[in-house]
A = this chain, B = another copy of it.
Amino acid sequence: MYCEETTVNELKSFYRKYPTIKFAKGEVIFQQNEVPAHVYAIKSGVVKVSNLSADGVDQLISFEIIDDIVPICWAFSKTTKALFYYQAYTDCEFYIMSKEVFEAHMANNVGFANAMLSRQVSSYVGNMLQVDALEKTRAYTKLLYTFRYLCLRYGRDIRRDLVKIYVPLTQQEIANTTGLTRETTTLELKKLREQKILSVRRKYYTVDTSKLNAQIDDEYDPGIDVSMLTKVV
C-alpha cells in the first residue's frame, strides 16, 4: 500500500481535476506572512522555501517538488499565514484548489489521506537527515551527509548505486543549505568530485551512493527502500 506508484496515482487522480497556474523561475509564489488564497499542488518544477530576515537575507529551508503541497503549514491549518517565503526555483506549474476542497477530500478519501501521509513521512525523514547533516562539524563530513539527504529526498536511481538529484544546485545554494562559506564549499566539492563520489552537469548532481556510503562512518546502513526515493518526472 505504501509503494510510490500507488501514492503518485492517488494524488494525481485527484489533482488533475483542477485548473493549473504557472510561475516563471524566480517569481514569488507566496510572501512570508501572506494569507494564501488557495492550496497549490506542484505539477512540475521545484519550489524554494526560505526564511527572509529583516535585512533581506533569505535562508534556504527546503525544496518542495512534484506532488508536494505549498504552503504546507497553512494548508494543514498549522498556521494562519505562510510560515516561509515561497519562490519558483525553476519554472513551475501548480494545480490550484480551495483549502476547503483539499480538506474535504482528505477527510473523505482514505486512499488520498494515506498517500499524503506517506509523502509527509518521507519529507519528515528527509528533514531528519538534513538536521543530521547540519549538525556535523567538519565541512567534508557535512557535505557527504548533505548529498545523502539530497539523494534520498530529491534523487532517483539512474543506475545501480548512481542517483541523480533532480534539483539544480549552484555552489552558492549548496553553501546556503549547509551553512558553509562559498570558498569552503568549492574546495570540498572539488575533493568529492576528484574521488568520483559526485559528478555535476549543468547544476544537476549525480552521486555514486556506494562510494558515498563507504565514506560515512556512522553505524547506519538503513537499507533504504526504493519508495523512499522521490520519483520526479
Contact of A218 among B52, B116, B218 (CB under 8 A): B52
When distances are taken between beta carbons in the complex, the residues of chain B under 8 Å from A107 are 1, 110, 114
Chain A residues within 8 Å of chain B by Cβ, number: 64
Residues facing B in A165-188 (CB within 8 A) are 176, 179
Residue contact B33 to A125, C-beta cutoff 8 Å: no
Q: Are A121 and B217 in contact (CB under 8 A)?
A: no
* Chain multiplicity (copies): 2
Closest to A229 in B: B78
Q: How far is the CB of A41 from chain B (nearest CB, A)?
A: 15
Contacts A32-B219, A113-B110; A78 near B122 (Cβ below 8 A): yes
Q: Using a CB–CB distance below 8 Å, which chain A residues touch chain B?
A: 1-2, 32-33, 49, 51-55, 59-62, 72-73, 76-81, 83-85, 103, 106-110, 113-114, 116-118, 120-125, 127-128, 130-132, 134-137, 176, 179, 217-225, 227-228
